[in-house]
Structure 1
Amino acid sequence: MAAEIVPDSQHRGLVARLPPGLRGLAMLARFDRPIGWWLLFWPGAWGVALAGGAVSHRQLIGWLLVGSIAMRGAGCVYNDIVDRDLDAQVARTAARPIPSGLVSVRVAWGWLVALCLVGLMVLVQLTPFAASVAVASLAPVAAYPFMKRVTWWPQAWLGIVFSWGALVGWSEVAGGFSAGTALLYAGAIAWVVGYDTIYALQDREDDALIGVRSSALRMGRHVRAGVALCYALALILWAAAVWQVRGDPLALAALLPVAAHFAWQVASLDRAGTRALTLFRSNRFAGLLVFLACVVVGTVV
């Protein structure tokens, strides 16, 4: 399991070549770990595609990608500011830029503002209604770092936050919400709980020692069944969303590839979490499969 846990002090590629100060900022925003912004981006792309805008609003998908990179970075900076004392007590996070002293809290706040300004640039590309939906996400985002202190299910709150793009993408294309919007969003939340439970397996021992709560700890020896249930719920809700858009049994077949991928994840998962990081990262591909399904259902006549 130890080989699977990658500490945040590791950095490769372009980030490794940056001067220490810039490297610290890049690591603080997790620019060296693109999996996070892919997972934030996909629900927004799903919303655009299932609402029928994969072609007509393809520029919007690009803006959502830019916004996901900036706002995921901003979220990580904020989370690290709030969690700096906890991070110092966990092996995987002790070398993060703030607890290690590479970046000061004051500089981190300035970096957070800069990333939010990039997000603002994306925000002004949206219609007033979609922009208001996007702004409404700030409250749950601000509350997220505190959830692990008060609930065993911080992954559910992360699902609320990381799935919000589905509401933004759909509302930008359709000008409002529908039953399909709610079902797509709810399915995304279940998906996030599933994959972030897998991710949390890496920190179970440290989390238990310092009193941090997580779904991985709550599920205990039933973690595989718990993840399977989350993924099954996600598929059921997405199938219902697809049915709202196109009431054709053949349309549901578009979800079969992601169903097979989820089955592989669950079959590969063990309670010790020896492949946790690999399985977690594979959800970037799962997001792509859902996007392709949404494109097919939303645009094929």
Structure 2
Amino acid sequence: MSKLKLYWRLVRLDKPIGILLLLWPTLWALFASADGIPEAHTLIVFILGTVCMRSAGCAMNDYFDRNVDLHVRRTQDRVLASGAIQPREAVYVAAALGLISLCLVATTNVLTIQLSVVAAILAVTYPLFKRFFAIPQAYLGIAFGFGIPMGFAAIQGVVPGVAWLLLLANIFWAIAYDTEYAMVDRDDDLLLGVKSSAITFGRYDVLMVAVCYGLTICLLGIAGQMLGYGWIYIFSLMIAASIAGLHVYWIRGRDRELCFKAFLHNTWIGATVFIGIALEVLL
């Protein structure tokens, strides 16, 4: 039982914010592509698959970052960095979760299975991008949003243009919220030579977060027009924009705790957009 608790912490099931940030865009796609409530089987496959793939991604992230996490205040107590479990155990856990995800996606169609291979590669390779890519948050946005084309593929059998537009919106959203997250670790990342958008944007970090939030809302608005949504969806985007504005206000002084608070609060942006889509397709 003690080992299971360590694995639970390894895959961050004690910190569900990552699951939510991955799940909301997937739910946007499922409800939009189904133009209503998706079939129960599809919902179960994608919800469980989201949990498994996010958890597997966390295990691989900690495997690649185990020597870095030890020197970062926020991550030095992670179970792999602290030595509570061995590196090979993280790989075994990730492989097991990946196998479960494969079994789930195997019950869908060929296109969704093909896209799931890309999603798996994105999830595993993201930690490596922090070593050389100036804005790894953009790559994270692709990884966290790949449930969007997969959702459309599973329900419609194709990936229409609006799906890629929603994915692009998710990329800018991820840059915004993960920059807030990176602002917490900026000092440690500078010392360790780890790349992040907070470092790349420098003194324009708050401005760029605001710009990325703005682009997210604009792209979501265009996607809504393509889907034929009306005032309910527009109102949900106005609420989401207000929440984003609150985040920019919180992070303006670059206080660590407020930046982390803003990051965690992003689940409400995802939820608000989902509610707007759900009401449009159900009413």
Measured against the shorter chain, the TM-score band is over 0.9
SS of structure 2 residue aligned to 1:92: coil
Q: Please say if residues 219 and 226 of structure 1, whose CA atoms lie closer than 8 Å, have aligned partners that are also in contact.
A: yes
Does 226-235 or 258-267 show the bigger shift?
258-267
Q: Please say if residues 179 and 241 of structure 1, whose CA atoms lie closer than 8 Å, have aligned partners that are also in contact.
A: no
Q: Please say if residues 52 and 295 of structure 1, whose CA atoms lie closer than 8 Å, have aligned partners that are also in contact.
A: no
Deviations 1:39-97 (A, max 9, x none): 11111111011223441434422332211111111001111111111111212112211
The aligned residue for residue 297 of structure 1 is 280
Cα shift at 1:20: 3.0
The aligned residue for residue 112 of structure 2 is 130
Which letter does structure 2 place at the counterpart of 1:160?
A: I
Q: Please say if residues 24 and 274 of structure 2, whose CA atoms lie closer than 8 Å, have aligned partners that are also in contact.
A: yes
Name the TM-score, length of structure 1 as normaliser. 0.88
The aligned residue for residue 102 of structure 1 is 84
Which letter does structure 2 place at the counterpart of 1:241?
A: A
Aligned mates of 2:158, 2:269 — CA distance in 1: 27
Instruction: State whether structure 2 residue 267 is matched by structure 1 residue 280.
Output: no
SS of structure 2 residue aligned to 1:96: coil
Instruction: State whether structure 2 residue 244 is matched by structure 1 residue 239.
Output: no
SS of structure 1 residue aligned to 2:34: coil
The aligned residue for residue 177 of structure 1 is 159
Cα shift at 1:247: 6.4
Aligned mates of 2:214, 2:40 — CA distance in 1: 30
Structure 2: tracts of 5 or more residues without a match: none
Instruction: State whether structure 2 residue 57 is matched by structure 1 residue 75.
Output: yes
SS of structure 2 residue aligned to 1:274: helix
Does 217-226 or 197-206 show the bigger shift?
217-226
Q: Please say if residues 51 and 298 of structure 1, whose CA atoms lie closer than 8 Å, have aligned partners that are also in contact.
A: no
Aligned mates of 1:107, 1:166 — CA distance in 2: 31
Of 181, 185, 204, which aligns to 1:222?
204
How many residue pairs get aligned? The number is: 282
Which letter does structure 2 place at the counterpart of 1:172?
A: A
Aligned mates of 2:232, 2:8 — CA distance in 1: 45
Q: Please say if residues 53 and 120 of structure 2, whose CA atoms lie closer than 8 Å, have aligned partners that are also in contact.
A: no
Q: Please say if residues 187 and 235 of structure 1, whose CA atoms lie closer than 8 Å, have aligned partners that are also in contact.
A: yes
Aligned mates of 2:272, 2:232 — CA distance in 1: 16
Of 125, 129, 132, which aligns to 1:143?
125
Of 36, 52, 68, which aligns to 1:86?
68
Which letter does structure 2 place at the counterpart of 1:33?
A: K
Identity of aligned residues (%): 31
Structure 1: tracts of 5 or more residues without a match: 1-18
Q: Give runs of aligned pairs for residues 47-58 of structure 1, distance below 5 A.
A: 47-58=29-40
Of 152, 163, 166, which aligns to 2:145?
163
Aligned mates of 1:251, 1:289 — CA distance in 2: 9
Aligned mates of 1:266, 1:61 — CA distance in 2: 33
Aligned mates of 2:88, 2:53 — CA distance in 1: 19
Aligned mates of 2:153, 2:129 — CA distance in 1: 28
SS of structure 2 residue aligned to 1:236: helix
Which letter does structure 1 place at the counterpart of 2:272?
A: L
Of 80, 97, 102, which aligns to 1:120?
102
Aligned mates of 2:93, 2:136 — CA distance in 1: 25
SS of structure 1 residue aligned to 2:130: helix
Instruction: State whether structure 2 residue 11 is matched by structure 1 residue 29.
Output: yes
Which letter does structure 2 place at the counterpart of 1:190?
A: F
Name the TM-score, length of structure 2 as normaliser. 0.93
The aligned residue for residue 9 of structure 1 is none
Aligned mates of 2:81, 2:232 — CA distance in 1: 52
Q: Please say if residues 48 and 57 of structure 1, whose CA atoms lie closer than 8 Å, have aligned partners that are also in contact.
A: no
SS of structure 2 residue aligned to 1:97: coil
Cα shift at 1:176: 0.7
The two structures, once aligned, show a CA RMSD in angstroms of 1.7
The aligned residue for residue 47 of structure 2 is 65
Cα shift at 1:169: 1.1
Instruction: State whether structure 2 residue 232 is matched by structure 1 residue 266.
Output: no
